[in-house]
Every structure is written in C-alpha cells, then in structure tokens.
Amino acid sequence: MQPEPLPYVPAAPVRAAPVEVDPVGTSLGTRIVGYVVAVALGFLFGALGTVVHQISVSVFGLFDLPVGVIIALAATALLLTGLRLVGPNRLAALLAGVALVGTVTLLALPSPGGSVLIPDSTLGMVWLIGVTLVAVVVLAWPRLAGGARRA
C-alpha cells in the first residue's frame, strides 16, 4: 500500500532584506576624484582660453569679430554651469572657477623673458575681467526651486 501523496502547496517567495545602496557619485572617493577633475578642467580652460582669446575674424573687411574671446567666455560659462548643475553643491564649480581665474591671472603676468600672453589691449581686458565676472555670476546664481533634482 502506497502512502497518499501530500497536497502541493507552493512556497512563499523568499525576499531578501533591502540593501541600502548609495546613489552613484556620493561616495567620498568619487567626490574627491570629481573635485580633482574639476580643478584640472579649470586649469585647462584657463590656459586654452588665454591662448585663443586673441583670435579675430575679419567680416567683409568692415570690422574684426573677436571670436576667440567669445568662444572662450562661452566655454567658461558652460563649464561652470555644467559643474553647478551636475554636482549636489557648488564646491566643484568653485574649485574649477578658482583654478580658472588663477590660471588666467598667472598667465597675465610677464614671463622672465618679458613676453606676455594677455597683452594690455581691449581683448585682453575683456578676457581678464570677463572670466572673473562669469565665474562670480555662475557661482552666485541662486539655486532654482523647480526641476527634478536627485537628493
């Protein structure tokens, strides 16, 4: 005589305990690497902007359009704005801004041989003052209340 089989009862699914995972970019190591990259980008944009700010294009022989300083200031504004939007605070943008303005200021000084990268001209003054104003405005701009931001 065979024993009667037990009725089939499905087992309850096993659920793992919830694991707390930090969102991407919130660990200390990731933030430090991000800040180092921000400083490096500030140095790079300051050096490249200083080199290209003097470029002008003649428009039909009527006037010279200073495309170098326009592109350099726009790139500076986009870099700092992007760092403000991506980061949870202003520190990355602040570090990049300090590196940027510091690089431009350092490159404005005459070298031991007497040559200068930022001459005492209108374009030179626009670059020196403009990069500082862009950095101050982007860093001082208040955080907008709208939009979906991650915590």
Which tens digits make up the pLDDT trace of 54-82?
Answer: 999 999 889 899 999 999 999 999 999 99
Alpha-carbon distance values, 126 to 19, 50, 66, 103, 119 (Å) = 53, 11, 10, 16, 11
Query: Of 119 and 25, which is predicted with more confidence?
Result: 119
Domain count, the chain: 1
Domain that holds residue 57: 28-140
Q: Is 102 domain-assigned?
A: yes
Q: Is 51 domain-assigned?
A: yes
Q: Is 23 domain-assigned?
A: no
Mean pLDDT value across residues 130-137: 96
Mean pLDDT value across residues 121-141: 94
Percent of the chain with pLDDT over 70: 88
Which tens digits make up the pLDDT trace of 134-145?
Answer: 999 999 988 766
Nearest to 82 by CA among 96, 98, 103: 96
Which tens digits make up the pLDDT trace of 11-45?
Answer: 777 777 676 655 556 778 888 999 999 999 999 99
Phi, psi of 27 (to 5 degrees): -75, 155
d(CA 84, CA 96): 10
Residue 94 CA to its chain's centroid (Å): 9
pLDDT, position 151:
47
